[in-house]
Amino acid sequence: MSSEDALAPDLLLHEIRNILVMSERRNRVTADGAASLLVRLRRVPLVIVEMKDDLGILQLAREHRLSGYDATYLALAVAHDTALVTLDRKLDAAARVAGLKTFG
């Protein structure tokens, strides 16, 4: 990330919000803590990309047996020919098949 912009699909923001809401419900974070985390997230130097290639994402999900969510991250990395950062083994494998470098 020090030499190029980090990209993330707009989906990331929805996923983070959902994680925070679920964490609040499970008493793992307070409402103030969740708000603070969102403020800190907005300071991370990410380029948020709106993903519009619905058919391409569906195709990647089918080809690699990924969720639509994971296929969105893969589609972004493929479209920008960039490395993918993930801890998900299935997504990591799909990225490697697609010829991408991965970190995780």
Tens place of pLDDT per residue across the chain (104 aa):
555 679 999 999 999 999 999 999 999 999 999 999 999 998 988 999 999 999 999 999 999 999 999 999 999 999 999 999 999 999 999 999 999 999 98
Q: Where are the domains of the chain?
A: 1-47, 51-104
Type of residue numbered 22: M
Helices (H) and strands (E) in the chain, counts: 5, 4
Would you state the pLDDT for residue 3? 57
> 51-104 in CATH: which number?
3.40.50.1010
pTM: 0.85
Cβ pair 11, 69 in contact under 8 A: yes
| pLDDT at residue 4, rounded to an integer | 67
Q: What is the pLDDT of residue 79?
A: 96
* Size of the chain in residues: 104
pLDDT at position 5 is 76
